[in-house]
Amino acid sequence: MTKSSVSRLTPPLAAIQTGLAEPKPRPAHRHPNLGLAPVSMTAGFTEAAEKLRRDSLKIAGRALVAATETDPTIKERYSEVELRRLLRDSEVLTERLAMCLASDDPRWLGEFAAWSAPIYRRRGVTLLDLAALCAGIHGVIEPDLNADELASAGRALDAATTVFRRDSRLAGDRHKRNALWKWMYRGV
């Protein structure tokens, strides 16, 4: 081996670490079968989570009102019974948000949004309406939470909204389609 080939194989002195290993990144999931402790439901903002659970019906009602103010066609598209179901669904979203706040982990609401999308399609509920409900919940809880709690709740609601918006593009969602796409796929 020549001197030039050896210098190409050895890294420069500045690139050699000082012996301290970099910490391993934390896994996104904490499943006990992987040898990790389960997610702590007291690691986050437990007082804010209890406040959300206590006022879940009030938050759900205000969120539905905020969603219908943003999109007035919601009242036209759904019957009285379906609006009551949306009210119940926003209570469930609030409960999942409370779980996210208690653990300071947005996955509880994001995964719920992914799991529940087929059920809402079967019921004829547009996923964009559920994204509007998430936005309504964020607007309702904003004055009651401090900055850190609101940031944690915002991450969870953004995760759910992202899933709802992404899945609303899939077939089966009842929203108005692009006229060109509708014409192109009229026989499908």
The SS3 of residue 63 is helix
Express each pLDDT in 52-76 by its tens digit.
Answer: 999 999 999 999 999 999 999 999 9
For residue 109, pLDDT over 90 is answered with yes
Q: CATH classification of 56-174, choosing from 1.10.260, 1.10.490, 2.160.20, 1.20.1070?
A: 1.10.490
The SS3 of residue 131 is helix
Express each pLDDT in 126-177 by its tens digit.
Answer: 899 999 999 999 999 999 999 999 999 999 999 999 999 988 877 666 666 6
**Cβ atoms 98, 105 nearer than 8 A:** no
Q: Which is nearest to 41 in space by CA: 54, 33, 30? A: 30
Q: Which is nearest to 101 in space by CA: 155, 46, 138? A: 46
For residues 156 and 99, give the distance between their C-alpha atoms in angstroms, rounded to a whole number. Answer: 10
Beta strands in 23-142 (DSSP E): none
Boundaries of every domain in the chain: 56-174
